[in-house]
Structures are given as structure tokens and as C-alpha cells.
Amino acid sequence: MHVSAHPEPAAPQLYQCRMFPMTLSQDDVDALQPGEWVTDDVIDFYFRSLKHKYFRDNKKYVYIPVNIANLLTERAVDSSSKHLKELADDANALDFETQCLRKPRQIRVAFLPIFGDGHWSLLVYRHQHKRLPEFLHFNSYLNSTRAHHTQCARTALINLLYVFRENDPDMTISKDSYKLVVKNCPQQNNGNDCGVFVCMYAYILSSRLAKREKENASHASPIHHLVRRLSAISVAQPSHETDQLSFSERNSAKDKDKSDPDELLWKVKDKDGLPPDNMRAYIQRVIYHATSSSRSTSASL
């Protein structure tokens, strides 16, 4: 019997998620090493882990997959009825699993990873009651990519609004019915950390939104209403509470609503997140935790 002198190469390791149907390759995980470009699948995986952790059964918060975000970014803006139908059909076809775009009226916040010209940024759709919907653009490379990437974000948001309207014709929206805000946010100091910053922005905002949802739920309880009624007939005491959020000079200097808690929620400053290499290691731990019950390494999702 002939025995090869060269052993068969080991099968590539796959990382099958236990919480949602997605698999990563070893190359995806290796791309989280410092100096590497984070892959599309890693960003998708991490966004889905945020959804699973914070808003698993809450349809108000949506994390749009990379392939749909790419479609919205790359498709030219065209308001013809034929184009709009094709756009919505293509987006809905890609959305067969999560179906996050089918009922746009229930969406309050949507996260879109935007990719263009070799760079990632984060676009956040923010529904506002009786006001124009607001899109917040978090770009970690503003000095070099502001003009081009802001245009990528604008194309994506207009196409997203078109898909919303096609999926719900009763929505009174148009390409002009929005507000786009380019946010001051932590900046990368190299050419390969943009995907990591997108994940970090999404993590910071998701954790804050989840905390607000929890607080709102407790405020809606019968006990809370009773406490409020009792407090209303008691003598008000001076408050000694202080805002726990402090922002960098460059962020706070230009903001008109510094005292509005709802506006503060959307501000991201340098000290809010992890250093990029630490964030890479954290995402890697999240992947290990989500794909294997036998690993000793774990992370809080």
C-alpha cells in the first residue's frame, strides 16, 4: 500500500454560531489581528451579536446586513417607478432571513455599515416622532474621506427611504424628507481600523439604547406610576445628580443640545470605546463565545 510522504492538509476551521445561522472562516477570525482589514462577515457577525444581545425580540431596532447596505450604497439614485420596484425587490430578496425592511413603520433605529472606496463607516437611521427622520453618519477618517463617504451615506439613506416607501406605500417620505448629520467621533490613526471603529460605534450606541429601553420599560410599570403620583404631592427636593457623560471639547463645542439626554445618547467620544487593538481582541472573544461551548475564552455579548 502506497503511503504519501506528505500528510493531508488539515480542514480549515469553521466557526458556526450557536445563536443565529452564520458561519465564519479561520480567515475571518485571523483578520481581527492588528494591522489586518476586518472582513464583511465579521462585521455582519458582530452586528447580529449586538441584535441578539440587546434587541433579540425588539423589532424597533434593526441591524441591516452588509450585503443589503452595499446594495443601497452602490445602486444609483433613481426615482422612476420601475427602478424603485427593482430596488425594493432586490433588497427584500437579500432580506429573506431577517426581514428587517418589510415593516419600516415600526423601525425606530437602524444601523447600516457603509462601504465605499475601500473605507467603512456607520450610518444610523433615527426615527423621530412628528419630525424628519435623522441619519447620523459616524466616519472614523473624516479628514481624508469626508466628502466622498458622506456622498456614499447620502446615496444609501435615500435608497433606504425608497425601499421603506415601496414596502409601505402609506409612508409619506421622499428623498428630500430627511436630515443627515455628520458626527464628530473618535478617529483612526492608520489605514486599516475603519471596520473596527464601525463595530465600536455600533456597540457604544447599542448599549446606550438598550439601557434607555430598560429604563423606559421600568418607567411604564404600575409601581413607577404610583411613585410618580406620590412624588407629585410631596415637597420637591433639590437634585444633586450630575450628568455621567462628559464629552471631548471638539464634540461639545459645536452642539446646541448639550443638556438634552436624548441628544447626548448619540454622541461618541474617545473615552467611550476601547483602543482599536483591544476592540479587535474583544470581537474575537465574542466570536469564540458564540461559536463554541468548549472554549475557555468568553466574552459578554
Chunked into runs of 10 residues, the chain (301 residues) has average pLDDT values of 57 87 96 97 98 95 97 95 96 88 93 95 90 92 87 95 92 75 95 97 97 84 50 36 27 48 89 95 97 52 50
The predicted structure's pLDDT at residue 84 = 94
Residue at 142: amino acid letter = L
Q: In this structure, are residues 131 and 181 in contact, taking their beta carbons and an 8 Å threshold?
A: no
- DSSP, collapsed to helix, strand or coil, labels residue 161 as helix
Helix then strand then coil, in percent of the chain rounded to 5, is 45, 10, 45
**Residues in the chain, total:** 301
Which grid coordinates are listed for 163? 425601499
Q: Which amino acid is at 36?
A: E
Alpha carbons 99 and 68: distance in angstroms, whole number: 11
Alpha carbon 300 to its chain's center: 18
- Between CA 54 and CA 71 the distance in angstroms is 26
Quick one: pLDDT at residue 97? 81
At residue 227, the 3 state secondary structure works out as helix
DSSP class of 217 = H
CB 75, CB 159: distance < 8 Å: yes
Report the pLDDT value the prediction gives residue 10, as an integer from 0 to 100: 60
Distance CA 172, CA 177 (A): 9
121, 114 contact by CB (below 8 A): yes
If phi over 0 gives left and psi between -120 and 50 gives alpha, with beta otherwise, what is residue 47?
alpha
198: alpha, beta or left, given left = phi > 0 and alpha = psi -120 to 50? alpha
Instruction: Tell me what pLDDT residue 178 has.
Output: 86
> Considering only CA atoms, which of 111, 141, 153, 105 is closest in space to residue 266?
111
CA-based R_g, the chain, Å: 22
| Predicted TM-score (pTM) of this structure | 0.82
User: 53-58: long-range contacts (C-beta < 8 A, 24 or more apart)?
Assistant: 53/206, 53/210, 53/301, 54/206, 54/207, 54/209, 54/210, 55/206, 55/209, 55/210, 55/213, 58/213
Instruction: Please state, in angstroms and as integers, the Cα–Cα distance from residue 112 to each residue in 43, 67, 179, following that order.
Output: 11, 10, 16
Predicted local confidence at residue 131, as pLDDT: 78
